[in-house]
A = this chain, B = another copy of it.
Amino acid sequence: MSKTVDLNADMGESFGPWTMGDDAALLEVVSSANIACGFHAGDPDVMAATMARARDHGVGIGAHPGFDDLQGFGRRRMQVPQDTLANLIRYQLGAAQGMARAAGTEVRHLKLHGALSNMASVDHAMARACYEAALELDPDLIIMVLAATAMEEVVRELGCNWCGEIFADRAYNDDGTLVDRSLPGAVIHDPALAGPRILQMVQEGAIITESGARIPTAIDTICLHGDTPTAVELARAVRRALSEGGIEVRAFDGRRG
């Protein structure tokens, strides 16, 4: 059996008259789409159009909930009580499920967005509150977690369906965290570099850090971006490198435990 991996990207981040990202290009590259749910980006029209396109491309649909902060695009940290967080997740996931059902498809996975994701990746209780709320709506939902973070601990505890994610364009520290964006080399812009690097990580089943260390982890999906032409180019390069390396790109099935 050949090895497989998923490629995911955030989509449906337009809002009203404003467009963002090159969703059309990304849909040719990825196997899963994380679709904004109207709180930090996306509106019901954008969601409907994005889901229809993802469905037509056979791309797996995920709900991508974020903080209720349109101006800040969900990237500003907010101190929100856990009960409120749980309801925020339930509401956005429910809306996404309803819109998917109306489009004759379904929400397969959930990925937290922006500051909500950053905070939950180091806050066990917060991640748990979010994921438990989501699983109440669908116990088979696949939770996408940042590999080797508190998020992964939580999904293992919950025994739910999950998949582990690494970034195609970010360098890693030896403790599994991302190299700070302000440091040189933190963000990888060169497609020629990104492709082989990701192929190697997938083949080894480990994050390869900046120092060359290996962190064995579940690499089920690779996060790509489409906000710039360069990002789309890098996304294509990663897909090409994986294919040439004999790795099949297809939506994850989720793993348990």
Contacts and interface: CB of A to CB of B under 8 A. Distances in A.
11 contacts: A15-B70, A16-B70, A16-B73, A17-B41, A69-B78, A78-B78, A90-B98, A94-B98, A95-B95, A101-B136, A102-B133
B44 A137 contact: no
A48 interface: yes
A71 B137 contact: no
A84 to B, nearest CB: 6
A2 interface: no
A137 B100 CA distance: 9
Given A45-B83, A98-B90, A17 B20 contact: yes
A95 B99 CA distance: 9
Contact of A95 (B18, B48, B78, B98): B98
This chain: copies in complex: 4
Given A17-B20, A71-B16, A91 B83 contact: no
Nearest to A18: B18
B91 A101 contact: no
Interface in A108-165: 115, 133, 136-137
Q: Which of the four size classes fits the interface of chain A?
A: 35 or more
A97 B98 contact: yes
A6 B1 CA distance: 59
Contacts of A98: 90-91, 93-95, 97-98, 137
A91 B47 contact: yes
A12 interface: no
A79 interface: yes
A65 B95 CA distance: 12
A33 to B, nearest CB: 17
Contact of A94 (B15, B83, B96): B96
